[in-house]
Structure 1
Amino acid sequence: MSRPRITPFLLASSLLLGTTAFGGLVTDSNAEEPATSVTIYSSADPAGFDPQRFIGQQRNGGDFNFASQVPGFGVVRQTRSFELRKGLNEVSFTDVAAFLDPTSVGFRDLTDPRTAVLEQAFKFDLVSPSKLLEKYLDEQIEITVTEGDATRTIAGELLSSSQGRLVIKTDTGLEMVDASDARISLGSLPDGFLTKPTLVWMLDAARGGNHEIRSTYQTAGLTWRADYNLILNDDDTAADVTAWVSLLNVSGIEYPNAKLKLVAGDVQKIQPTRRMRGYSIESVPEGAAGKVAGFTESSLFEYHLYTLPRTTTIARNSTQQLTLFPAVSDVEIAKELLYDPTSAMGWNREPYMNPGFVPGGSDKISVYVSFKNDTENGLGIPLPKGRIRAYKQDAADGSLEFVGEDLIDHTPRNEEIRIKLGNAFDVVGERRIVDFKIDKARKTMSETIELEVRNQKDAVQTVVIREHLYRWRNWEMTERNLPFERLDANAIQWKVDVAPEGEKTIRYTVRYTW
């Protein structure tokens, strides 16, 4: 439904509140540049988070509760100066988040801790065209409508405003007008409307004078996620690493010159189940990001806190990117080709006796890149979960080309990060069951498997071949043409070098008993 257009000066006007019986309504004396700190918590799934969904809803005036669906929240701390009288004061704390949780509000008088809060109200009945028109029922209004190339002015008493239609009583009768095509002029802003969400406190001050007051509250509509970029070198042995933080703010206000902190970890917060869609930021800087100071990291309970060592403005209704840490060059990496054609299985009361049964692994040979998150590798800081993208330079023109991406979980320092970039094109694998025998009376069966890897590239390729001995928990390797490495109770692997345009075959026989 189209919204009526209201004369602009009305929507931009300020709310002036009069004197009350509590010693006068106190307005913010330092509203332009409040001391603000914002800590943002995120539960965003890096694989399924679309910030533009929320930006669009905010700009289009969608469901007021949409911000509660944002996977995260913020804790906002603001310090402002107020002139208080001794005794009772009503204090208006404006420019707070539209999705503030009133039950989370904290109050502290930094000047005099004896100041007490007697009552608190969160007022968020903000000006909107439909609400203004409701207040002007049975009042005089003036509208201008377009009729062809001309316009006509209609003045009279507003009888109804419903479903985008206005009914106006004029001197000549009733006029019904489509509000979406009308320019509407109203007299003044009715009492009781606010232009900004406002916290109102009734305070009991032990002494008068200027007081520094700090408020703390939680708000919906804020979240963040980490994005990492790897730029691989020519022989895939090292990479340059950059990391970015992507912020989303649809909390209803801007946070100018704010101290920004991010919390990484699985913080429990009671909230409704949400559904997200895919999220992708496709831009990447070509070349090093430079030694721009990023966030500093510290421990917080069982989580990690990332603090920006400078202030920043968190813009309203926007996403923005900040450097998580300066670019790190020549991080040692290892590339691995993995052929894993079967998958691990749980067992029932009997083994899997069907000769043709093979639990689905992958017919493709996967490409992985791994690196150690330690100081020797130029890293060594806890890395928040996020999406990591890999790029490689095209030797022909020097441009960076995308070669794959994956997700990482929260990763402590000194742990390995391993990501899958895709599947090999020129290295292929094939698995065959060449013999199968079973003796149910003696409760034994044997199986002979051939695994063949073929390399169509012009360089030697090292491939890890992994097998899951899935038929039963008790097994014995009776024959093999190459020694293997045992990974766990039912997984084994080989590491083989395959010559250019060559092939390598592994053959083994395993005997199961039950």
Structure 2
Amino acid sequence: MRYNLKKAILIIGIVALLAIAVSAQVNGVNGNSNENYLIYDSNQGGIVEKSISLELEQGVQWVELEDMENLDNVDPDSIKLEPENSDVLEVVDIKTDFRDNIKTNIGKEVEIELTSGKTVSGVLLRIEDNYPYGLMVLENDERISYINTNNVNQIKTTSDSDSKVMARIESSGSGSFDFQLRYRVNGITWDASYDLYMKDSDSSSRFSGDMIIKNPSNTNYDGNFNLISGQVMSSRYVGFAEERASISDGFERSVSAPQKVGRVYKYELGQLAIDAYSRQSTKYLDKNIDSKTEFMYTTSRHGRNENVRQFLTFANNEEPLPKGTVNVYQEKDGLQVMVGQSSIDRTPDGDEVEINLGSAFDLKGETEILEETRNAGNITRTGEINITNFGNNPKTVTVRYMWEFGELLDSSVEPVETNADFVEWDIRVGVNSDKTIEFEVAEDIRNNNVRAYSDTAEKEISPR
């Protein structure tokens, strides 16, 4: 039952990939054809499409698809061969002889790179529980290792057998016939990498982005590339490689504006050649933005002494941003000093981008609960939150006190927001000084709402 469910999920993901693939209507010459690629981010692989010609005899026959020789990163279940003229042709069956599931290497030496960066070498004894969802069992001179395939990053094999794809085709005539060949490839993927350069003014920054295509497989790709941003697959790919990918020299290329296709976005890059075991970078974004620096101290009833966190935010007003890593730089004495690194999720047009720069070491927060009074089903707390600024410039700090279904009974500073999860204040802290918020809150210790029965003077706190 478990295997059937996971197989169904995988099939649904493949169908979703194929559903948005764009047809490539370019015939090759002398066996070589321009190919159309749709490459998906977040290790979701890609879709290859191309037109091919096959010499057929009348009747039913098995034909080898030579265009797919030695492609060990192909998902066999995704191979589709469609005749241009279905009136005279029918693809009856497709048979694959792949080593992508590594089962042909059972009994042979393999080297496995884990997601943690460690490597494990040994003889592959067996694969349990329907790989790639189960365990790989390896034996070496020291031990027998049981490896969860979800923790596998790459597999280096010693197999030198060729991969083949055979199609069983029924034809009502003889001659050369055109087909559309489409299949999913694993391993190749892409990610966005951003650089944000903070200028002297906190309100102005330069924001640039690159699309980095990563090909850890042993296959060269040459054709028309489209990059897809969006989560469409439900399972993680385990790549096969013989060596680590090396980064090739980047180059700038004009990238078209993203096109929305269902719930994903498509970027057209045009003709590219991506070598095996390589990475290639394409510039697609470079603009000035209005950014602002924010400081936040988050605390709760447990009380804590820690640094205030610093964030850089800006409005994304032009186009959706793909998921990626942001490197933040600040100029000092003519040098661009890296001051932070953070990841951003896919960000739609009109949303705000928030980059976590880490702790602001010249700001310190401290929370102290002075008194607690327990009542029937709720508790009242009186406390102080102190923010100290050790820097040379005044800072505005957002202070957030987390609670569960709480209510602010009293405060020395007017809050800017209260809801079921927290109360929030904005305070201005001068140079080499501190500021304290005195507060009294009521929280329902049974996770029930705390009700206030008076909007003016006396408030009665009561559980539901």
- Is the TM-score greater than 0.5? yes
1:391 alignment partner, one of 323, 326, 329: 329
Q: Does 1:266 align with 2:200?
A: no
Equivalent residue for 1:296, pick from 257, 260, 281: 257
Cα distance in 1, alignment partners of residues 247 and 338 from structure 2:
10
Shift of 1:29: 7.7
Report the AA paired with residue 407 of structure 2. Answer: W
Q: Which amino acid aligns with 1:72?
A: Q
Measured at CA, do residues 487 and 233 of structure 1 come closer, stay the same or move farther in structure 2, by a change above 3 Å?
farther
TM superposition shift of 1:206: 3.6
Q: Superposed, which structure 2 residues align to 1:12-31 within 5 Å?
A: 30=29
Which residue pairs with 1:350 in the alignment?
A: none
Query: Matches of 2:432 and 2:417 in 1, distance apart?
Result: 29
Query: RCO (CA 8 Å, sep 6+): is it higher in 1 or 2?
Result: 1
Q: Quick check: 1:451 aligned with 2:385?
A: yes
- The answer to whether the aligner puts 1:491 opposite 2:422 as a matched pair is yes
Pairwise CA distance, 1:259:
1.4
Contact 2:44 2:237 in 1 (8 A): no
Cα distance between partner residues in 1 of 2:280 and 2:385: 49
- Give yes or no for the alignment of 1:381 onto 2:319: yes
Work out whether residues 31 and 80 of structure 1, in 8 Å CA contact, stay in contact via their aligned partners in 2.
Answer: no
Distance 2:298 2:233 in 1: 36
Per-residue deviation, residues 379-423 of structure 1 (Å, max 9, x unmatched): x222222211211112x1x22111111111122111111121111
Aligned counterparts of 2:44 and 2:308: Cα–Cα separation in 1: 37
Residue 272 of structure 2: which of 312, 322, 337 is its match? 312
| Greater fraction strand | 2
Q: What TM-score results when the alignment is normalised by the length of structure 2?
A: 0.68
Structure 1 residue identity aligned to 2:275:
A
Deviation at 1:296, TM superposition (A): 3.3
C-alpha contact 1:293 1:326 (8 A) present in aligned 2: no
* Mapped partners of 1:340, 1:280: distance in 2: 41
The match for 1:358 among 284, 295, 302 is 302
Q: Which residue does the alignment assign to 1:73?
A: 45
Distance 1:255 1:280, change over 3 A: closer
In the alignment of these two chains, the number of paired residues is 359
Equivalent residues of 1:390, 1:404 under 8 A apart: yes
- Aligned mate of 1:219, from 167, 185, 189: 185
The aligned counterpart of 2:409 is 477
Q: 1:95 touches 1:197 (CA, 8 Å); kept in 2?
A: no
Instruction: Give the aligned partner of residue 432 of structure 1.
Output: 368
How far is 1:341 from its partner? 2.4
2:66 corresponds to 1:94:
yes
Task: Give the residue type in structure 1 aligned to 2:215.
Answer: N
| 1:296 aligned counterpart, secondary structure | coil
Does 2:269 match 1:338?
no
CA contact (8 A) 2:246 2:277 kept: no
Check 1:122–1:431 CA distance in 2 against 1; reply closer, same or farther (3 A cut).
same
Structure 1 residues 205 and 445: CA distance shift in structure 2, 3 A: closer
What is the CA-CA distance between 1:444 and the residue it aligns to?
6.6
The residue number in structure 2 matching 1:53 is none
For residue 424 of structure 1, report the CA deviation from its aligned partner. 0.8
**Cα offset for 1:426?**
1.4
Matched residue SS, 2:349: coil
Aligned identity (percent) is 21
Counterpart residue type for residue 318 of structure 1: S
Q: Does 1:238 align with 2:204?
A: yes
> Whole-Å Cα distance in 2 between the matches of residues 102 and 407 of structure 1?
34
Q: Cα 1:35–1:194, aligned 2, differ >3 Å: closer, same or farther?
A: farther
Larger radius of gyration: 1
Q: Which residue of 2 aligns with 1:354?
A: none
Measured in 2, the distance between the counterparts of 1:313 and 1:259 equals: 9
Q: Secondary structure at the match of 2:77?
A: helix
Return the alpha-carbon distance in structure 1 between the equivalents of residues 63 and 233 of structure 2: 33
Is the aligned partner of 1:250 residue 2:185?
Answer: no
Of 338, 343, 352, 1:407 maps to 343
How much is the aligned-residue C-alpha RMSD, in angstroms?
Answer: 3.7
5+ residue gaps, structure 2? 1-26, 109-122, 124-158, 444-460
What's the secondary structure of 2:259's corresponding residue?
A: strand
TM-score by length of 1: 0.62
User: Do 2:215 and 2:245's aligned partners in 1 also have CA atoms closer than 8 Å?
Assistant: no
Gaps of 5+ in 1: 1-27, 45-70, 135-162, 164-192, 343-356, 375-379
2:37 aligns with 38
